[in-house]
Amino acid sequence: MSIWKLIKGIRCKQLIVLVGFFLKRPMFMLSTGKATSQTLDIVQEKFPGIHGKDNSANAFRHALWNYLIAVRCLKNEKNIKTILSWTKEITDWHEDFSPNEPLARAMDLHNNQIGRALFESHENKTEKEAIIALELKLMDAVRVDSCEEVEKHSTNLVFIDTD
């Protein structure tokens, strides 16, 4: 998606919220942008052309994105709770900004949480080690058919469609 299409798709209220995020935490917003770009580069390399679907590659992308946002923010803030709160707030906003069907939304929010939990448990690990940990989690990813099923798999990545 081009930047112009993205900008044209932003509603006034969403733009105000996004500007508010930037004003509240400009360094976090810059870190989030860097993490987003890095995430897309990594998943495009690992899963060329398929990570935009509701599949296991998408699950990996969401978890990695949350992990990398937190890692990038750690360079500007040492309070882990503040970082995790920001990461949840901005990625939840993203889900509101680009709404999905209820099951896809539940899947994305769940996988976002997996990424934040990985950050908490791997805070002092390298990014390579975290990516390997996510790749291992991907081997145990669970296909789900309902929002209730998502809730049953608190430590697994979840996905809807097969690759």
Task: Work out the percent of the chain whose per-residue pLDDT is above 70.
Answer: 85
How sure is the predictor about 131, in pLDDT bands with cuts at 50, 70 and 90? very high
Q: Which run of H or of E encompasses 142?
A: strand 142-143
Q: Write out pLDDT tens, residues 80-123.
A: 999 999 999 999 988 887 778 999 999 999 999 999 999 999 76
Q: At what angle do helices 12-24 and 26-46 cross, to 10 degrees?
A: 110
Say what the pTM is. 0.87
- How many CB atoms sit inside 10 A of residue 32's CB? 24
Instruction: Assess contact for 122 and 133: CB atoms under 8 A.
Output: yes
Distance CA 160, CA 43 (A): 18
DSSP state of 71: H
- Report the distance separating Cα 130 and Cα 51, nearest Å: 19
161 SS3 class: coil
